[in-house]
Amino acid sequence: MRLLVIGGAGYVGSVTSAVLVEAGHEVTVVDDLSTGHRDAVPAGAAFRHADVLDQRQLGDVLREVAAGGPIDAILHFAARSLVGESVVEPARYFRHNITTTANLLEAMRDHGIGTIVFSSTAACYGEPDATPITEDMPTVPTNPYGASKLAADQMLTFAAPAYGIAAVSLRYFNVAGAYGPQGERHEVETHLIPRLLDVAAGNAPEASVFGTDYPTPDGTAIRDYIHVRDLAEAHLLALGAAKQGEHLICNLGTGTGFSVYEVLEAVRKATGAAVPAAEKPRRAGDPARLVASAERARTVLGWSPERTELSETVADAWAFYRR
Ligand SMILES: NC(=O)c1ccc[n+]([C@@H]2O[C@H](COP(=O)([O-])OP(=O)(O)OC[C@H]3O[C@@H](n4cnc5c(N)ncnc54)[C@H](O)[C@@H]3O)[C@@H](O)[C@H]2O)c1
Ligand SMILES: O=c1ccn([C@@H]2O[C@H](COP(=O)(O)OP(=O)(O)O[C@H]3O[C@H](CO)[C@H](O)[C@H](O)[C@H]3O)[C@@H](O)[C@H]2O)c(=O)[nH]1
């Protein structure tokens, strides 16, 4: 397939681009490098620098790429995705995450592009009453980031039949790990594993454990850490499963949760470093427990995660960090 990967210079987008290229697809990455890196784009993919918030820039890229042959599908990873920042800049988050999606959907209609795979998030569910989380549970986001992603999902639900396109939203839980030279490299890093690796490497003095009074066995928050390589495979399967006029939503997680203390232990083991950690108050808006049911992804996409050992995921992240 001829594919456009919007946001393919970022963490998840670069790993997925590498897997798509390996599978024999023709990939063009479109990215404004606002949080991504030019050198993260795999060698076998073409690159176009453009901001998809700007319809003119997007139109220029589409015309240029389509001149070489029809575009079969778009994978849309581009977003503002820092939960804490979204709480202080809600309008910016809504504008970015909704407008990028709206621009891409209208461009698909205008250029006859039939399929979109969208990066959605577990943050759409907010504070669920129960785990594992299935796609039919209530979506009540607790922060503007999750709300803006949910709004984009809803846009896809209406746009799929209206424009006759095939849409798939993949709701990632906590993405972790790396795939060779592609990994997590955010300038502003809020995610647990890379922050712990910073301490292990001596680049930060001490780790923070946000909240030790959650109703969980050890008092720290539980998350479902999905290996980025497994996540990338799901995008390949989603391209095959997408149906014209329909919007499919699938959770992607392992179905197993680990607490912050368990992740800290895994990082200490993988790195051999002491990783001193201080107990801090809860981070605003953090749910106690987010664990996916990936049953729908299993049955509809034929997907199942293969890298479910936390130790392996952390070891891959550490190997990338040390490069
Ligand atoms: N990392 C996670 O744990 C996680 C979890 C759930 C969902 N997600 C979603 O997955 C997607 C990818 O996340 P990530 O961690 O790889 O983020 P990232 O910031 O590493 O990647 C996003 C990429 O999009 C590019 N981009 C942003 N705005 C753009 C624009 N207007 N035009 C062109 N390019 C633009 C950035 O430069 C960057 O390369 C996001 O949509 C995020 O909301 C991530
Ligand atoms: O230094 C840290 C960083 C994080 N945490 C804790 O570790 C857990 C995981 O935090 P992350 O920041 O790694 O990830 P989140 O669970 O906040 O992820 C949320 O935000 C992500 C985007 O940033 C995704 O959208 C994801 O689906 C959504 O649940 C949370 O309990 C957090 O409080 C710490 O204790 N110390």
Pick the CATH number of 2-176+225-252 from 3.20.20.70, 3.40.50.720, 2.60.40.1180, 3.40.50.620: 3.40.50.720
CA distance 119 to 232: 11
Letter string b/e over residues 174-186, b meaning 16 or more CB atoms within 10 A of that residue's CB:
bbbbbbeebbbbe
Note the pLDDT tens digit of each residue in 211-239.
Answer: 999 999 999 999 999 999 999 999 999 99
* Residue 4, pLDDT score: 98
- Quote the percentage of the chain above a pLDDT of 90: 97
How do residues 262-284 score in pLDDT, each as one tens digit? 999 999 999 999 999 999 999 98
Q: What is the spatial distance between Cα 62 and Cα 74, in angstroms, rounded to a whole number?
A: 11
pLDDT value at position 213? Answer: 98
Q: Which residues line ligand 1 (CB under 6 A)?
A: 7, 9-13, 31-36, 51-53, 77-79, 81, 100, 119, 121, 172, 174-175, 186
Instruction: Write down the pTM of the prediction.
Output: 0.98
Sign of CA dihedral 20, 21, 26, 30: positive
Q: Residue 146 — very low, low, confident or very high, per pLDDT cuts 50/70/90? A: very high
Q: How far is the CA of 294 from the centre of ligand 2 (A)?
A: 20
**Interatomic CA distance for residues 163 and 159, integer angstroms:** 6
User: Which ligand minimizes its atom distance to the CA of 120?
Assistant: 1
Ligand nearest to the CA of 124: 2
The confidence score (pLDDT) of residue 284 equals 85
**Region class of 211: left (phi > 0), else alpha (psi between -120 and 50), else beta:** left
pLDDT at 285: 80
Say which of 11, 145, 179, 214 is annotated catalytic.
145
Q: Give 306-313's long-range contacts (Cβ < 8 A, gap of 24+).
A: 306/227, 306/230, 307/177, 307/227, 307/229, 307/230, 308/227, 308/254, 308/256, 310/225, 310/258, 310/262, 310/263, 310/266, 311/266, 311/269, 311/270, 312/177, 312/227, 313/176, 313/177, 313/193, 313/225, 313/227
Distance CA 309, CA 254 (A): 10
Residue with tokens 């201080």: 278
Whether residue 225 lies in the annotated active site = no
Å from CA of 222 to ligand 2 middle: 10
Q: Name the residue ranges covered by the structural domains of the chain.
A: 2-176+225-252, 192-223+255-291+306-318
Residue 187, class by beta-carbon neighbours within 10 Å (0-12 exposed, 13-18 middle, 19+ buried)?
A: exposed
From its phi and psi, is residue 78 left (phi > 0), alpha (psi between -120 and 50) or beta?
beta
Q: How would you label 221-235 residue by residue, b for 16+ Cβ within 10 Å and e otherwise?
A: bbbbbbbbbbbbbbb
Helices (H), the chain: 11-22, 55-66, 83-88, 90-111, 144-163, 192-200, 228-241, 260-271, 295-296, 310-322
Under a CB-based contact definition with an 8 Å cutoff, are residues 15 and 179 in contact? yes
Angstrom CA distances, 220 to 11, 75, 156, stand at: 26, 34, 35
Q: Quick one: what percent of the chain has pLDDT higher than 70?
A: 100
Supply the pLDDT for residue 54.
98
Identify the architecture of domain 192-223+255-291+306-318 in CATH.
Alpha-Beta Complex (3.90)
Note the ipTM here.
Answer: 0.97
| Contacts with 292 (C-beta within 8 Å, 6 or more apart), sequence order | 122, 132, 133, 171, 173, 224, 226, 251, 252, 253, 254, 255
Each residue's pLDDT tens digit, 12-63? 999 999 999 999 999 999 999 999 999 999 999 999 999 999 999 999 999 9
How close is the Cα of 223 to the center of ligand 1, in Å? Answer: 20
